[in-house]
Structures are given as structure tokens and as C-alpha cells.
């Protein structure tokens, strides 16, 4: 921030944006008294931020106005939240206190601003560990715990923070690159999953697109251009597709509107990455939404009326049965309800059609705020219990005194990013559980005593073991025994927080068996790593884990309090080792400090390692991490591992720049190929790579079946430019249909 006297243009910009916000707030406020509170909040904040500018040079007041505008338009919160959004930086950036705001605006608005100030302090303050026994990782985890704890006080704090984060990301080009990378990684790690779970689709989508724009700028521009080209090319076809649907629904008396939607660049890019497909194979680029006002006089339920529209439109166009998604009958955990189907247009393009009522559309666009608004007005939707159950679950985790900060960070992040599946009890009652859950997790979901006594299960009438992984639609019956009790090995396969907690608590009373189990677990892990578990190693492990004695070490490993997951990844030198492993190996722990320089040249004479998780090459957008021991690891900016490291170790982030001359360095990449098999094809591929391009191949794996071949080649290249030239040439070889760079 900077200070300089405002001029007439500055005052004009503030007044212009305020008038737009005032008009939006007037529609949201219940009466003139509420609107007057918003006006006073604007005047208070405007005076407090007078002559203060952002990095961009614009008046600072434009930021809180923009945040409040998002709170109204994209979230739909009321006057207290709008006022808090306008005031959210006053306590942090001026001489005013929370008590000043409480006296002026009352307890609730003051407490919302207080929560927002605490979050900002957590995210903006560089935490130092020098002279303490607490690792930087623990401090950062504690910070995230404080952020999430605000959900337990008032979830509106997190909703306003999401609006604040969105506007900061909209103007992120004014940030230095290392700061930008930290903010974007933090956004992907915690705020985008939060927006998804809270049902804020528009905020989530915009944050994702901004993330892609700066993390993978070339991919973003290319995909955006191709989407724009498709819109221009297919616009008339989409109009023609919608016309028969409009006529049919008008004929039967539905009150409705049709909105067109095109897949976002991030969504297309993500699908291309996950499915390893080219842009041409992203078939669901187009979607239309049929949003209707249900007939309240009809005996049909909202669900029945959705099905009737489905019946009408599938009478016009052919649909793809395997692509039918019924989230009216089984809403998502964030409350989302809609009926999705995919129809074939006359021009041969598959178009996704989403059928929603007006209420469903409000919840889909504005998430939890719309959910509560309908709840307040007495409407109980199909998704009602799912949203409330999830919030209760999160609050239960947050207030659990037995969960430390690092563990909580993992639990919350996994919960935010995990998908849900829907399974049924023997009586046909639907239950939601996270993807990857086992039959035993389901048993504990039903009741603790059922889980404790479980010995087997029947899934779709077939007898299975308790570690059987469930899938959507399964009908699950738990088989119990009177003398059944938890087994120590259950901790190796249960996935839900509740199941892990109950089993762990049980074995706190079964100490000897648990100690034996923990010792065997540790021996197995260390043997797999080729490390001898002798007396010296055990003593170091006791100290590293903070165990009181040998028995305490084995016991806490046995109950899962000391996790051995990813032990190999922590032991090898990848530049992101954590403190207890350093102590195990006898490496002196240095205080975590900010690197001397945030920019470093990667190349000859630089001590760096290329991350094996994403294998970046010169030309890729990259992010670097300088660990406390001086080791530098380089990742692709879009790498999920890098996102997690940057979110936890924001002060390790550096900006790597590839050295101009990289001929003396070669980098391993993998390209995947697919096409029609023919005689001499492999020779043509290898000749081009080795003779013409002079490429060093490490391995080649190709297989053919029924005249179609596919496979991959691992090879070494000097730069992305050479790789792209090679891919373009290979794509032109007769018979090759697709060539793409894929993960190793």
C-alpha cells in the first residue's frame, strides 16, 4: 500500500463503484434501516482508507467495495455481511479497533470483522521458528486451523474471506511473482475446495481459471482461444438445438428459461490432464440449463416435474444413458440438486442438459447462503440434510482436542477434496460417504456399536470382507457378532475420520496388543526402506517422535497417532524433508528463514533438483522451493505436490529462471502415442527421434491390438521448445492419431 492525496478521478471511481454496490445492497436489504447500516459502513471505511492506494495505484477503497459486491452478487449474504465486507480491512490497516466497530455497528458486524482480521494476520504474517522447538510446518498448520475454526464461530467469516480472496486474485498481476505463487497455491489448497464444499460454483470456477492463467499461461491461452472459436462456430447450432426444447416446454405450460454454458478453460484443462486426452476429446464443452418455476398447485413434486421435463426432451433428442446423473434424488454433499443428461444434437454434438428448479439454481450458484435462505423460509429441499451434516462434521473435527494441527490440516484438506458416493442400507435408506470408504467405514457411519461388532458385510447380497471398498449404488448390510470387537489392523484400511477415531480410542484400552502391532508396523516400514531397526535407530525415533519411552513409541504408532505414511518420501532427499526425519538422520535443524533472494537462475553451477512428481523442463512455468538446508527443488507451477508445499511453506517459495544455455542439461519426459498400426511405423518413429532429432531415448513401450496401437516413450530433451517441435512432427506421421506429453 502507498499514500498520496486522492484526485478528482479517484473520488469519481469510488463514487461510481459505491453507487453500483448501493443499488445491489438495496435489493438485498429487508428495509431502509438495514440499507442505512450499509451506507454508514461505506462512509466509515471510506474515511478510514482516505488517500491510501493499492499496489496497482488505485484507491484502496475500491477493494472493500468490490469484496462487498461479490458478497451480494455471488453469495447473496445480508446487510451485516455486506457491512463487514466494507469494513474488513479497517482494523488491520488503520488505527481503529474492533471495540470502535462494536460501538458503532454492534456485536455481530464487529465479530465478523474481527474474524476476518485474524484470518488476514494468519495468512499475511511470515512465521519465524528461530529459537523455538516448533517447526515452521506446525506453525503454518496451526494458522490454517485458526482459519477453519472461524467456521465454528460463524461460517459467514469464511464466505466473506472467499470474496476477499477472489478479488485479490482478480488483481494478482500487481503482486511480485513469488508472492503470487504463494497466494495461488494457498488458494488451490484450501480456498477452492472450500468454495466447492460450500456450493459457491461461480467463485470456485473463477478462482480455478485465475489459477490456471498464472500457473499454466500457455495452456490457458490456447484452451481459451479454442473454446472461443468453438462458441463462434457452434453458436447457431446451439440456438437450433434449443428451439425444439423451448417449443415443447411452452406447449405443456412450463414457466422456464434456458441458459447456455460453456466449459471453463480450467475445467477443460483439468479433464485433459486427468484423462490424458487432447482438447478434441473433451466432449462436454457445451451445456444448457433449463431453469423452471415449479407448479405449486400440481400434485407432482419438484422431482417429478424434473423427470417430466426429462421425458419431454428425450422424446426430441437421443440421450446417452451412461451419462445420466440424478442429483435430484441423491443431492451432492454441498446441497447441489439437478438432473443431468447428455443429448445428441442434429449436428452430431453431444450437449449436456441440466434440469433445475429456480430454488435449485439459486443454491447451485450461491451455495450455502441460498440454502439457509430457503431453510429460513420453511423450505426443506432434498439436499438439506447433506449440507447441514457436512457442516456439523467439520465443526466436530475442529473442536476435537485430540487432533493436532498437522493432522487436522490433512483431515480437512482430504475432506474438502474427496468426492462422495451414495450407498443404501438394507431398507433402501440412502447414506452419503466419502469415495474410497470401506464396508467398515459404513458400519461406523450407521452406529459406533455396529462398527465395533462388525465381522463381515454383504454388498449387493454378496459376502465381502470389511475392507471391501464401496461404490455408488451399493446396498450394504453389516454382519455383526456378539463377541465381535475392533482389530488393530482395521487402522490400516478405514478411511473416514469417525472410524479412525473410534478404533483409535478403543485401542487406547488395549495397550499390549496395540504395542505389538505398532512394533510390527515400524519394522515392516523400515525393512522396506533397507534401514536396520537397531537400538540406536530406536532411540533416535523415540526422540524424533517425542515418545516418552519405547512402549509409548510402539503404542502411538499402533493407534495411528504417529503416522508412518509416506515415510520413504520423507526420508529421501527431495528438498522438503520435515523436522523429525532430520533428527532421525542426525541432520541439524536450521531455523526456517526466508531465502536471501526470491529469484534464482536454474542451470550450470546451481545446486538444484528436478521434482520427480512433475518433471519440469526449460520452458515450463516453474516454482522453486529453497529448504532450510539450502537444497532447491524445482516443480511445475501446476504440480499438486508443489501446491501443497507452497501452502504449508509459503516462505520457501522462490522464482526459478531457466538459464539461457541449457544444452548441457537434458530432462526426462514421457510422450504417449495412439493411432492405427502399420508395418514400419515403429522404425519411422525411432529413426526420426534418434537420427534426425538426436534424441536420447530411455525406453519405448508400444503395443497393438486389433489394428490400433498405443504406448509411450521416455526420452531426454533440452527444452519445451524442442519437445513441442518433436510432438508436432510425430503427429504428422501417417497412422499416428494423437501424441501428447504425459506424466511419468
CA atoms of 171 and 445, how far apart (whole Å)? 44
Place of cell 475392533: 486
Angle at 314 between CA 308 and CA 319, to 5 degrees: 130
- Would you mind telling me the total number of residues written for the chain in this entry? 744
CA atoms of 511 and 521, how far apart (whole Å)? 15
Cβ atoms of 87 and 104 closer than 8 Å = no
In the annotation, is 402 catalytic? no
Q: Is the dihedral of CA 727, 730, 732, 734 positive or negative?
A: negative
CA atoms of 169 and 165, how far apart (whole Å)? 6
The HSE-up count of residue 552 (CA atoms within 13 Å, CB side) is: 10
CA atoms of 127 and 593, how far apart (whole Å)? 9
Edge to edge, the sheet with strand 736-742 lists: 696-705, 708-717, 667-676, 736-742
CB under 8 Å to 57, separation ≥6 — which residues? 2
The HSE-up count of residue 25 (CA atoms within 13 Å, CB side) is: 31
632-636 vs 608-610, strand pairing mode: parallel
Place of cell 454434438: 349
Spell out the SS3 assignment of 455-511: EEEEECCEEECCCCECCCCCEEEEEECCCCCCCHHHHHCCCCHHHHHHHHHHHCCCH
Cβ atoms of 151 and 126 closer than 8 Å = no
252 is written with which cell numbers? 405443456
Edge to edge, the sheet with strand 476-480 lists: 462-464, 454-459, 476-480
325-326 vs 286-293, strand pairing mode: unpaired
**DSSP structural state of residue 707:** T
Cβ atoms of 635 and 646 closer than 8 Å = no
Find the helix or strand (DSSP H, E) in which 34 lies. helix 32-48
> Which of 17, 34, 73, 93 is the catalytic position?
93
Is 54 strand, coil or helix? coil
Neighbours of 402 (CB within 10 A): 9
Is 732 strand, coil or helix? coil
Cβ atoms of 742 and 672 closer than 8 Å = yes
Question: What are the two backbone dihedrals, phi and then psi, of residue 650, each rounded to the nearest 5 degrees?
Answer: -60, -30
In the annotation, is 710 catalytic? no
CA atoms of 673 and 336, how far apart (whole Å)? 38
Nearest-CA neighbor of 480 among 445, 441, 446, 453? 453
115 is written with which cell numbers? 474474524
CA atoms of 53 and 66, how far apart (whole Å)? 15
CB under 8 Å to 447, separation ≥6 — which residues? none
469 is written with which cell numbers? 471398498
Distances (CA, A) of 536 to 34, 79, 335, 533: 69, 63, 54, 8
Q: How far is CA 537 from the centre of its chain?
A: 38
> Which of 17, 22, 34, 92 is the catalytic position?
92
171 is written with which cell numbers? 488483481
Q: Is 323 exposed, middle or buried, given 0-12, 13-18 or 19+ CB atoms closer than 10 A? A: middle
Distances (CA, A) of 611 to 207, 351, 614, 667, 698: 26, 39, 6, 11, 18
Enzyme catalytic residues: 92-93
Amino acid at each position: 500500500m502507498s499514500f498520496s492525496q486522492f484526485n478528482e478521478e479517484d473520488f469519481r471511481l469510488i463514487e461510481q463503484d459505491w453507487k453500483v454496490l448501493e443499488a445491489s445492497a438495496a435489493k438485498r436489504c429487508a428495509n431502509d434501516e438495514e440499507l442505512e447500516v450499509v451506507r454508514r459502513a461505506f462512509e466509515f471505511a471510506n474515511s478510514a482508507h482516505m488517500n491510501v492506494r493499492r499496489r496497482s495505484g488505485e484507491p484502496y477503497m475500491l477493494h472493500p467495495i468490490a469484496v462487498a459486491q461479490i458478497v451480494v452478487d455471488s453469495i447473496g449474504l445480508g446487510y451485516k455481511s455486506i457491512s463487514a465486507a466494507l469494513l474488513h480491512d479497517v482494523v488491520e490497516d488503520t488505527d481503529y479497533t474492533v471495540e470502535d466497530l462494536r460501538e458503532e455497528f454492534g456485536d455481530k458486524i464487529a465479530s465478523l470483522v474481527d474474524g476476518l482480521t485474524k484470518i488476514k494476520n494468519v495468512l499475511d504474517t511470515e512465521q519465524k521458528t528461530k529459537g523455538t522447538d516448533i517447526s515452521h510446518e506446525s506453525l503454518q498448520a496451526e494458522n490454517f486451523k485458526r482459519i477453519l475454526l472461524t467456521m465454528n464461530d460463524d461460517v459467514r467469516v469464511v464466505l466473506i474471506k472467499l470474496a476477499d480472496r477472489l478479488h485479490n486474485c482478480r488483481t494478482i498481476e500487481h503482486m511480485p511473482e513469488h508472492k503470487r505463487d504463494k497466494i495461488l497455491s494457498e488458494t488451490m489448497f484450501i480456498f477452492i475446495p472450500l468454495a466447492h464444499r460450500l456450493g459457491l460454483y461461480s467463485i470456485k470456477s473463477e478462482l480455478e481459471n485465475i489459477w490456471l492463467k498464472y500457473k499454466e499461461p500457455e495452456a490457458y491461452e490456447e484452451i481459451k482461444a479454442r473454446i472461443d472459436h468453438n462458441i463462434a462456430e457452434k453458436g447457431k447450432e446451439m440456438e437450433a438445438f434449443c428451439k425444439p426444447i423451448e417449443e415443447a416446454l411452452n406447449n405443456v405450460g412450463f414457466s422456464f428459461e434456458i441458459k447456455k454454458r460453456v466449459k471453463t478453460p480450467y475445467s477443460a484443462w483439468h479433464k485433459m490432464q486427468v484423462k490424458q486426452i487432447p482438447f478434441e476429446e473433451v466432449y462436454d464443452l457445451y451445456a444448457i440449463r433449463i431453469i423452471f418455476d415449479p407448479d405449486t398447485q400440481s400434485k407432482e413434486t419438484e422431482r417429478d416435474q424434473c423427470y417430466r421435463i426429462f421425458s419431454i426432451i428425450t422424446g426430441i433428442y437421443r440421450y446417452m444413458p451412461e451419462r445420466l446423473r440424478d442429483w435430484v434424488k441423491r443431492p451432492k454433499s454441498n446441497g447441489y440438486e439437478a438432473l443431468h443428461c447428455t443429448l445428441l444434437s442434429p449436428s452430431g454434438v453431444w450437449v449436456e442438459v441440466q434440469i433445475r428448479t429456480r430454488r435449485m439454481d439459486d443454491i447451485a450458484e450461491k451455495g450455502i447462503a441460498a440454502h439457509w435462505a430457503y431453510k429460513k423460509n420453511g423450505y426443506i429441499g432434498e439436499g438439506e440434510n447433506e449440507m447441514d451434516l457436512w457442516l456439523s462434521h467439520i465443526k466436530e473435527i475442529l473442536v476435537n482436542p485430540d487432533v493436532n494441527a498437522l493432522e487436522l490440516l490433512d483431515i480437512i484438506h482430504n475432506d474438502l477434496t474427496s468426492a462422495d458416493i451414495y450407498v443404501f442400507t438394507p431398507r433402501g435408506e440412502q447414506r452419503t460417504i466419502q469415495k474410497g470408504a470401506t464396508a467398515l467405514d459404513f458400519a461406523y457411519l450407521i452406529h459406533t456399536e455396529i462398527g465395533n461388532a462388525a465381522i463381515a458385510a454383504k454388498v449387493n447380497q454378496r459376502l465381502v470382507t470389511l475392507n471391501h471398498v464401496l461404490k455408488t449404488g451399493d446396498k450394504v448390510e453389516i454382519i455383526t457378532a456378539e463377541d465381535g470387537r475392533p482389530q488393530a489392523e482395521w487402522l490400516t484400511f478405514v478411511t473416514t475420520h469417525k472410524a479412525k477415531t473410534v478404533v483409535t480410542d478403543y485401542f487406547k484400552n488395549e495397550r499390549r496388543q496395540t504395542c505389538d502391532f505398532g512394533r510390527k508396523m515400524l519394522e515392516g516400514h523400515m525393512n522396506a526402506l533397507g534401514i536396520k531397526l537397531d537400538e540406536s535407530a530406536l532411540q533416535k525415533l523415540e526422540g524424533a517422535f517425542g515418545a516418552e519411552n519405547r512402549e509409548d513409541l510402539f503404542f502411538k504408532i499402533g493407534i495411528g497417532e504417529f503416522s508412518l505414511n509416506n515415510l520413504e518420501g520423507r526420508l529421501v532427499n527431495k528438498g522438503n524433508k520435515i523436522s523429525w526425519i532430520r533428527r532421525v538422520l542426525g541432520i541439524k535443524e536450521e531455523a526456517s528463514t526466508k531465502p536471501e533472494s526470491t529469484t534464482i537462475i536454474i542451470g550450470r553451477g546451481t545446486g538444484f533438483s528436478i521434482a520427480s512428481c512433475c518433471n519440469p523442463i526449460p520452458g515450463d512455468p516453474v516454482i522453486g522451493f529453497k529448504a532450510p538446508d539450502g537444497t532447491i527443488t524445482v516443480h511445475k507451477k501446476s504440480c499438486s505436490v508443489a501446491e501443497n508445499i507452497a501452502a504449508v511453506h509459503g516462505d520457501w517459495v522462490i522464482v526459478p529462471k531457466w538459464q539461457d544455455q541449457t544444452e548441457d542439461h537434458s530432462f526426462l519426459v514421457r510422450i504417449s502415442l495412439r493411432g492405427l498400426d502399420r508395418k514400419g511405423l515403429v522404425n519411422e518413429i525411432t529413426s526420426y527421434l534418434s537420427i534426425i532429432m538426436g534424441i536420447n531415448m530411455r525406453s519405448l513401450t508400444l503395443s497393438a491390438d486389433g489394428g490400433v496401437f498405443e504406448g509411450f516413450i521416455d526420452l531426454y530433451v533440452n527444452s519445451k521448445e524442442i519437445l513441442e517441435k518433436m510432438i508436432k512432427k510425430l503427429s504428422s506421421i501417417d497412422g499416428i492419431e494423437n501424441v501428447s506429453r504425459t506424466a511419468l
